[in-house]
Structure 1
Amino acid sequence: MTQIKTEIIGVGTELLLGQIANTNAQWISEQMAENGFNVFHHAVVGDNLQRVMAQFEQSGKRSDVIIVTGGLGPTEDDMTREAFQKISNLEMVENGPSMDKIEAFFKKRNSVMTENNRRQARLFKGAEVIDNHVGMAPGMVVRHQNNIWIFLPGVPREMKAMITNTVLPYLKQHTGEHTVIKSTMLRFTGIGESRLEAELKDIIHSQSNPTVAPLAQNEGVAIRVTAKASSAKEALNLIENTKQQILSKVGAHFYGSDEQTLPEKVSGLLKDQGLFIGAAESLTGGMFMDRLISLRGASAVCRGGIVCYDVKVKENVLGVSPETIQQYGTISEQCAAEMAENICSVLDADVGISFTGAAGPETEEGNPPGTVFIGIHQVGKDTVVRKCIFQGDRNTIRERSVIKGFELVMNLLEKEY
Structure 2
Amino acid sequence: MRAEIIAVGTELLLGQIVNTNATYLSQGLAEMGIDVYFQTVVGDNAARISQAIELARSRADLIVFTGGLGPTQDDLTKDALAAYLNRPIVIHQPSMEKIESIFSSRGIHMVESNRRQAHMIEGSVPLKNEAGLAVGDGLTADGTHYMLLPGPPREMKPMFDGPGKTWLRSVAGDTHRLFSRILKFAGIGESSLEQKLIDLIDAQSDPTIAPYANEGEVAIRLSTKSQSEQEANAKLDRTEEQINQIVGKHLYAREDIPLEAAVIRLLRASGRKLSSAESCTGGLLAELVTNVPGSSGEFVGGVVTYTNMMKHKLLGIPMSQLEGTGAPGAISDSTAALMAERVRERTGSDFGISLTGVAGPSESEGKPVGLVHIGIARPGMPPAVHTIHLSGSREMIRLRAAKSALYRLWLELVDNS
Task: Say yes or no: TM over 0.5.
Answer: yes
Deviation string 1:277-317 (CA, Å, 9 cap, x unpaired) is: 11001222222122222223323211100111222211111
Matched residue type, 2:137:
M
Deviation string 1:13-34 (CA, Å, 9 cap, x unpaired) is: 3333443332222222222222
Structure 2 counterparts to residues 93-132 of structure 1, below 5 A: 93-132=90-129
Range that drifts further, 376-385 or 313-322 = 376-385
Provide the residue aligned with 1:357 in structure 2: 357
Provide the residue aligned with 1:276 in structure 2: 273
> Please, which of 37, 44, 49 is the counterpart of residue 52 of structure 1?
49
Provide the residue aligned with 2:35 in structure 1: 38
Q: In 1, distance between residues paired with 2:341 and 2:367?
A: 23
How much has 1:383 moved relative to structure 2? Answer: 1.7
Provide the residue aligned with 1:73 in structure 2: 70
- The runs of 5 or more residues in structure 2 that have no matched partner are none
Provide the residue aligned with 1:345 in structure 2: 345
Q: In 1, distance between residues paired with 2:380 and 2:271?
A: 15
RMSD over aligned Cα atoms: 1.9
> Please, which of 152, 172, 178 is the counterpart of residue 155 of structure 1?
152
Confirm whether residue 412 of structure 1 aligns to residue 409 of structure 2.
Answer: no
Range that drifts further, 344-353 or 29-38 = 29-38
Matched residue type, 1:303:
V
Provide the residue aligned with 1:392 in structure 2: 392
Q: In 1, distance between residues paired with 2:398 and 2:10?
A: 36
Provide the residue aligned with 2:136 in structure 1: 139
SS at match of 2:98: helix
Q: In 2, distance between residues paired with 1:393 and 1:245?
A: 35
Q: In 2, distance between residues paired with 1:11 and 1:257?
A: 37
- The runs of 5 or more residues in structure 1 that have no matched partner are none
Q: In 1, distance between residues paired with 2:318 and 2:160?
A: 65
Percent identity (aligned): 40
Matched residue type, 2:410:
M
How much has 1:340 moved relative to structure 2? Answer: 0.9
How much has 1:334 moved relative to structure 2? Answer: 2.3
Provide the residue aligned with 1:237 in structure 2: 234
SS at match of 2:131: coil
Confirm whether residue 88 of structure 1 aligns to residue 57 of structure 2.
Answer: no
How much has 1:69 moved relative to structure 2? Answer: 0.8
- Structure 1 residues 88 and 136: alpha-carbon distance in aligned structure 2, compared to 1, 3 A threshold: same
Q: In 2, distance between residues paired with 1:166 and 1:129?
A: 9
Deviation string 1:170-216 (CA, Å, 9 cap, x unpaired) is: 22222223321100111111122222222222222222221112221
Q: Is the 8 A contact 2:79 2:89 kept in 1?
A: no
> Please, which of 294, 302, 305 is the counterpart of residue 305 of structure 1?
302
How much has 1:243 moved relative to structure 2? Answer: 0.9
Matched residue type, 2:412:
L
SS at match of 1:43: strand
- Structure 1 residues 19 and 330: alpha-carbon distance in aligned structure 2, compared to 1, 3 A threshold: farther
Q: Is the 8 A contact 1:7 1:42 kept in 2?
A: yes
Matched residue type, 2:396:
T
SS at match of 1:62: coil
Provide the residue aligned with 1:194 in structure 2: 191
Confirm whether residue 210 of structure 1 aligns to residue 201 of structure 2.
Answer: no
> Please, which of 13, 22, 25 is the counterpart of residue 22 of structure 2?
25
Provide the residue aligned with 1:378 in structure 2: 378
Range that drifts further, 11-20 or 129-138 = 11-20
Deviation string 1:23-67 (CA, Å, 9 cap, x unpaired) is: 222222222222222222222223333332222221111111111
SS at match of 1:239: helix
- Structure 1 residues 312 and 18: alpha-carbon distance in aligned structure 2, compared to 1, 3 A threshold: farther
Confirm whether residue 266 of structure 1 aligns to residue 263 of structure 2.
Answer: yes
Matched residue type, 2:406:
F
Q: In 2, distance between residues paired with 1:169 and 1:71?
A: 22
> Please, which of 145, 161, 166 is the counterpart of residue 169 of structure 1?
166
Range that drifts further, 20-29 or 131-140 = 20-29
Q: TM-score, normalised by structure 2?
A: 0.94
Q: In 1, distance between residues paired with 2:16 and 2:182?
A: 30
- Structure 1 residues 50 and 370: alpha-carbon distance in aligned structure 2, compared to 1, 3 A threshold: farther
SS at match of 2:402: helix
Q: In 2, distance between residues paired with 1:337 and 1:212?
A: 40
Range that drifts further, 383-392 or 226-235 = 383-392
SS at match of 1:383: strand
Provide the residue aligned with 1:253 in structure 2: 250
Matched residue type, 1:377:
A
Q: Is the 8 A contact 2:189 2:216 kept in 1?
A: no
Matched residue type, 1:22:
N
Q: Is the 8 A contact 2:276 2:303 kept in 1?
A: yes
Q: Is the 8 A contact 1:227 1:236 kept in 2?
A: no
Provide the residue aligned with 1:335 in structure 2: 335
How much has 1:359 moved relative to structure 2? Answer: 2.0
Confirm whether residue 182 of structure 1 aligns to residue 172 of structure 2.
Answer: no
Q: Is the 8 A contact 1:171 1:177 kept in 2?
A: no
Matched residue type, 2:278:
E
- Structure 1 residues 357 and 18: alpha-carbon distance in aligned structure 2, compared to 1, 3 A threshold: farther
How much has 1:83 moved relative to structure 2? Answer: 2.6
SS at match of 2:373: strand
How much has 1:87 moved relative to structure 2? Answer: 2.7
